[in-house]
Amino acid sequence: MTAQATRGTAGAPRQTKGAGEVAGAAIDDLVPQMIDICGRRDVLTDPAELATYECDGLTSHRCSPGLVVLPTTAEQVAAIVAVCARAKIPFVARGSGTGLSGGALPRADGVLIVTSKMRRVIAIDQESRRAIVEPGVTNLAVSKAAEPFGLFYAPDPSSQVVCSIGGNVAENSGGAHCLKNGFTVHHVTGLEVVTPDGELVWLGDGTGAAPGYDLVGAFIGSEGTLGIATKIIVKLTRIPEAVTTLLAAFRTMGAGGAAVSAIIGSGILPAAIEMMDALAIEAAEAAVACRYPEGAGAVLIVELDGPADDVRRETEAVRAICEKDGAYEIRAAHDAAERTAIWTGRKSAFAAVGRISPAYIVQDGVVPRTALPEVLDRIAELSAASGVRVANVFHAGDGNLHPLVLFDDAKPGAEEAAEEVSGAILDLCISHGGSITGEHGVGADKSKYMPKMFGPGDLDTMQLLRCAFDPAGLCNPGKIFPTPRLCGEVPGVRREPHPLVAAGKVDQF
């Protein structure tokens, strides 16, 4: 849950468990070594400077880091991590700090490694449709660099102007268009990473078909707990020949939802299908005057892209479906300016809610698309029963809900009530076979919900991967998993054939 306060902070900032005790002396001992590696200017020790990094996009969790370093090369990152590993000091990587689950929440007893100075687009290979970039490069900068070649980088999180590719890799970021194009994990084919013991290694080779275990796939979405990516090979996608964006206004959410099901059922795969309810529309109007059709109980944004003739026919088909399901106004955007006008309301929705509420929580949950109508009804019931207002903005095509739970932080007990509703929404997602996070990650924020979604065997097995990469538990500790697994020594590893097999005594079972 992302508690955003638009006026002051939403309640008292919480210190993450285990982050409170300051290692002090131990951290200070590292400073000269860090200065040797990065230079004095890129090692921050002043408490005022450190405080700048006390949270990421999830402002309700705060903790000033023990030390901040701003490396400029992969070798520097490796050296920094090696120093931490030797000293047994935890470290946390941070890109642009836009994450919404506290994945980059620092530790008072640890080092924060900020990759924002590593922002080179190193190479673009047009014919292979690949780019090699550094982790601090912003998501949008990759697409801008690729544009002259007729290519773009498909995953497009709403924060793409500022969020970094390294952070996208950590979170397996999606975006409005991942319905058709997939997530970060579908668009990365190689990673140079610094392992938690300070070694610089390549995972994958850029081809997408490297031999061995799929370490690239395992690393992406591991929320910074398996190492730090220092180079990223991304797939680039052909810029579609045509893009059309439709805005359809419906009187009710039910009607809009029916249109979504009908579009998907027709066999059309739009690039994006987004939906907003009346409260979210009201907020967007107040904030950015997006001029959506008046009286809408729901608006649907459907974007179609691909070969021009296909897009033209699909647009007609989607328009017909929306009309049949009760859309009373449909607008179509054919150029970038018109498209921006339609998207403005949607993209500003989170921040816009600040216009109608002093504070709010951004929730991120997923349900099967067909469960959307029922889950939305249940959210409405929760809201009615508790008196807590909930604005709904969501990626309707893939069932990814972003309920905005509104509260007045000046009112005693209001935040607690909002958190209760927000948590109940996650329970709804789980009980409908969905997920506690579709794109914001578990981070520091949702680890307590992991046991609701996964059993002990599941969590234990996931952490085997953690133990393989980071047996000492120094790499972004305290994230994702509610209870860390003790890795320990691997008992009796045997690489030879089973002795009985080798001896030909297979009868002796």
Partner 1 sequence: MAGRIPEALADACADVSEAGPGDAVAGVAPRFVARPAGVTEAAAVLAAASSLGMTAVPRGSGTRLAWGAPPVGCDLVVDTSRMNQVLEHAAGDLVVRVQAGVGLDQLASVLAEAGQRLALDPPAAAPRPGPPQGVTLTAPAHGTTLPGPPKGATLSGPPHGAALPVPSNGSGAGTIGGVLATGAAGPLRLRYGTPRDLAIGITVVRADGTVASSGGKVVKNVAGYDLGKLFAGSYGTLGLIVEAAFRLHPLPAATSFVTLDAAGPDEARAAVAAAAGSPLAPSAVELDRPARGQPFRVGVLLEGDAEGVAERTARMAELLGSCSAAPDPPGWWRGGAAAGADGTLIRVAFWAAELARVLGAIDAAAAAAGIDPAIGGSAAAGVLYAAVAEGAPASAVARFVADLRAEVGSGNGSLPGAPAQPGSAVVLHAPAEVRAAVDLWGPVPGLGLMRAIKDQFDPQHMMAPGRFAGGI
Q: According to CB under 8 A, which residues from 444 to 503 bind partner 1?
A: 446, 450, 453-455, 457-462, 464-469, 480, 487, 490-498, 500-501
Q: How many residues bind partner 1 (CB under 8 A)?
A: 110
What does the DSSP 8-state code read for residue 56?
A: S
- Give the nearest distance from C-beta 140 to partner 1 in angstroms: 20
Determine contact, residues 251/326, Cβ cutoff 8 Å.
Answer: yes
H-state helical runs in 45-173: 47-51, 74-87, 139-146, 165-171
Q: Which residues contact 504 (CB under 8 A, 6 or more apart)?
A: none
- Give the nearest distance from C-beta 453 to partner 1 in angstroms: 6
Beta strands 242-250 and 298-306 are antiparallel
Where b means 16+ CB within 10 Å and e means fewer, 450-488 reads beebeeeeebeeebeebbebbeebbbbbbbbbeeeeebe
Q: Which stretch binds partner 1 (CB under 8 A): 5-13, 153-161, 213-221, 373-381?
A: 213-221
- Give the nearest distance from C-beta 106 to partner 1 in angstroms: 21
- Give the nearest distance from C-beta 14 to partner 1 in angstroms: 21
**Phi/psi of residue 406, nearest 5 degrees:** -95, 145
- Give the nearest distance from C-beta 239 to partner 1 in angstroms: 8
- Give the nearest distance from C-beta 457 to partner 1 in angstroms: 5
**Phi/psi of residue 455, nearest 5 degrees:** -85, 170
Determine contact, residues 190/409, Cβ cutoff 8 Å.
Answer: no
CA 167 from centre of chain: 8
Number of H helices, E strands in the chain: 17, 20
- Give the nearest distance from C-beta 418 to partner 1 in angstroms: 22
- Give the nearest distance from C-beta 377 to partner 1 in angstroms: 17
Site for partner 1, residues 362 to 421, rule: CB under 8 A: 366-370, 395, 398-400
Among 202, 251, 341, 482, binds partner 1 (CB under 8 A): 202
Binding mask 301-340 for partner 1 (x = CB under 8 A): -----xx-xx--x---------------------------
Q: Which stretch binds partner 1 (CB under 8 A): 11-19, 180-188, 350-358, 405-413?
A: 180-188
**231 lies in the site for partner 1, by CB under 8 A:** yes
If we measure between CA atoms, which residue out of 84, 76, 81, 79 comes closest to residue 26?
Answer: 84
Would you say 109 or 314 has its CB closer to partner 1? 314
If we measure between CA atoms, which residue out of 371, 459, 362 comes closest to residue 402?
Answer: 362
Q: Which stretch binds partner 1 (CB under 8 A): 20-28, 38-46, 127-135, 325-333?
A: 127-135
What does the DSSP 8-state code read for residue 245?
A: E
Question: Can you give the length of the chain in residues?
Answer: 509
- Give the nearest distance from C-beta 463 to partner 1 in angstroms: 8
CA distances from 103 to 95, 160, 460, 463 (A): 11, 17, 20, 17
Would you say 4 or 172 has its CB closer to partner 1? 172
**433 lies in the site for partner 1, by CB under 8 A:** yes
Among 18, 42, 117, 129, binds partner 1 (CB under 8 A): 129
Distance CA 82, CA 66 (A): 17
Among 125, 329, 408, 420, binds partner 1 (CB under 8 A): 125
Among 12, 48, 412, 509, binds partner 1 (CB under 8 A): 509
Beta strands 188-194 and 228-235 are antiparallel
Site for partner 1, residues 40 to 69, rule: CB under 8 A: none
Would you say 96 or 195 has its CB closer to partner 1? 195
- Give the nearest distance from C-beta 234 to partner 1 in angstroms: 12
Distance CA 367, CA 257 (A): 13
**212 lies in the site for partner 1, by CB under 8 A:** yes
- Give the nearest distance from C-beta 145 to partner 1 in angstroms: 13
Site for partner 1, residues 134 to 163, rule: CB under 8 A: 150
Would you say 50 or 226 has its CB closer to partner 1? 226
Among 207, 340, 431, 483, binds partner 1 (CB under 8 A): 207
Among 22, 51, 201, 410, binds partner 1 (CB under 8 A): 201
DSSP H or E segment with residue 391: strand 390-395
213 CB-contact burial (10 Å; exposed 0-12 / middle 13-18 / buried 19+)? exposed
Site for partner 1, residues 248 to 287, rule: CB under 8 A: 261, 264-265, 267-269
- Give the nearest distance from C-beta 417 to partner 1 in angstroms: 25
Among 437, 445, 477, 479, binds partner 1 (CB under 8 A): 437
Distance CA 163, CA 165 (A): 7
Would you say 168 or 344 has its CB closer to partner 1? 168
Where b means 16+ CB within 10 Å and e means fewer, 355-375 reads ebbbbbbbbbbbbebebbbeb
Determine contact, residues 258/264, Cβ cutoff 8 Å.
Answer: no
